[in-house]
Structure 1
Amino acid sequence: MRYEEPAKLSIAQIEDAMAGNDIDRACSAIISASLYLQDWRLSQGICLKAIAMDDKDLKRCGLIGLGHVVRIHGEVDVNLLKLAIDRFDLRNDADLSGYVDNLMDDVAIFLARDAYFS
């Protein structure tokens, strides 16, 4: 697998991708939002929306995207993150718990919040 720089998408393109049935396209849009949107709250909202979806790949992309938001912007609403992680029981999902751990590490390192966001 070769690294490819994610495309910089407009909000309309991101929303269009998220509304469609192409999981790969939606995941690319989530990552684009987390990397390129200037408004961290908007990026966070897109990632949280992905976490709320049924598809595990979208949830995974949402978690990865939230880590990008934390690292790039140094901001995130930790209360909303905790609510989403708990609501969808992501810490106990064998397929997603590693991504949750990575996100929690990013929050601990870049926001100096630990003990599950205190």
Structure 2
Amino acid sequence: KFNNPEPKTREELERNFNSNDVQLITESLVALVLYEKDWRWAQNICLAFLDSNNPDISGLAANSLGHIARVNHKLDKEKVKFALENKINDPLIGGRVQDALDDIEIYL
């Protein structure tokens, strides 16, 4: 069962992102895209986690980029599309990457 995480301060998010705890990182990514008003900062965090070796984290980072486009109707479109397209053939997250690319095309 999924529950939306509570909003977190930027300091809490940064501390959680610097941990090695996958659950804490993924929960913080969800909180980031749900509550952070600075879409560019959120986008850059997601882009960094797109390169994670953990597919739970990198896949969620891809989904999160699509969510930022859907909610904010703003994104560095070319930068994000380039990063996502480099991950499209990843067998573990390719479907999530395609979903994010679809969201970007629909909402931007």
Report deviation, 1:49.
1.2
Q: Which runs of 5+ in 2 are unaligned?
A: none
CA RMSD in angstroms comes to 1.2
Q: For 1:32 and 1:49, locate their aligned partners in 2 and report how far apart those are by CA, in whole Å.
A: 16
Opposite residue 41 of structure 1, the aligned amino acid is R
**TM-score with structure 1 setting the length:** 0.85
CA deviations on 1:46-100 (whole Å, 9 max, x unpaired) are 11111122222111111111111011100111121123224xx311111111101
Q: Identify the structure with bigger relative contact order (alpha carbons < 8 Å, sequence gap 6+).
A: 2
Which of 78, 94, 99 is the equivalent residue of 1:97?
A: 94
Contact 1:53–1:59 under 8 Å retained in 2: yes
- In structure 2, what is the equivalent of residue 18 of structure 1? 17
Opposite residue 53 of structure 2, the aligned amino acid is D
Matches within 5 A, 1:1-118: 2-86=1-85, 89-111=86-108
Contact 2:5–2:30 under 8 Å retained in 1: yes
Q: Tell me the secondary structure at the aligned position of residue 52 of structure 1.
A: coil
Report deviation, 1:104.
1.1
Q: For 2:75 and 2:100, locate their aligned partners in 1 and report how far apart those are by CA, in whole Å.
A: 11
Q: For 2:57 and 2:91, locate their aligned partners in 1 and report how far apart those are by CA, in whole Å.
A: 15
Q: For 2:98 and 2:82, locate their aligned partners in 1 and report how far apart those are by CA, in whole Å.
A: 15
Q: Which runs of 5+ in 1 are unaligned?
A: 112-118
Contact 1:52–1:84 under 8 Å retained in 2: no
Paired residues, what number? 108
Q: For 1:34 and 1:57, locate their aligned partners in 2 and report how far apart those are by CA, in whole Å.
A: 16
Q: For 1:104 and 1:94, locate their aligned partners in 2 and report how far apart those are by CA, in whole Å.
A: 16
Contact 1:47–1:62 under 8 Å retained in 2: yes
